[in-house]
Amino acid sequence: MNSRGDSQAPGKGDPWVYGALANNIWSLTSDQRGGSYSNGLIQPFVNYNFPAGLYLTSAPVLTVNWKAASGQQWTVPLGGGVGKIFHLGKLPVNANIQAYYNLVKPDYGPNWQVRAQVQFMFPK
């Protein structure tokens, strides 16, 4: 056992990472140039990290337009994907692909979202 009282190897953390991000933006005026708006975003996220840099992830981006007509305000996706952290020489790279089906969406919103990411990481 380690100092935390669990049986994880020293230097190894919990394989789960989870949390959420949220924001809302409002207009301060309703003039002709910018219009009037109130839009929100909620992004819950969960990752399960396997050894050797492989991980499963779900990080849907739920959006809301508070000023839209009833039934047209929300986009609520459900899904997830897979990713891998690897090295190009000494440079760590995080690559993943995710797909989400929009359970709730405005009438003319898309049925699916696909997200592909390649992130170059520059540690100190």
pLDDT at 30: 75
pLDDT at 11: 53
Give 58-123 as a DSSP string. E---EEEETTSPTTSSEEEEEEEEEEEEEEETTEEEEEEEEEEEEEE--TTS-SEEEEEEEEE---
**79 close to 103: Cβ distance less than 8 angstroms:** no
pLDDT at 91: 95
pLDDT at 12: 67
For the chain, give every domain's residue range.
16-27+36-120
**16 close to 46: Cβ distance less than 8 angstroms:** yes
Token representation of residue 71: 């039934």
Name residues of the chain where pLDDT drops below 50. Answer: 1-10
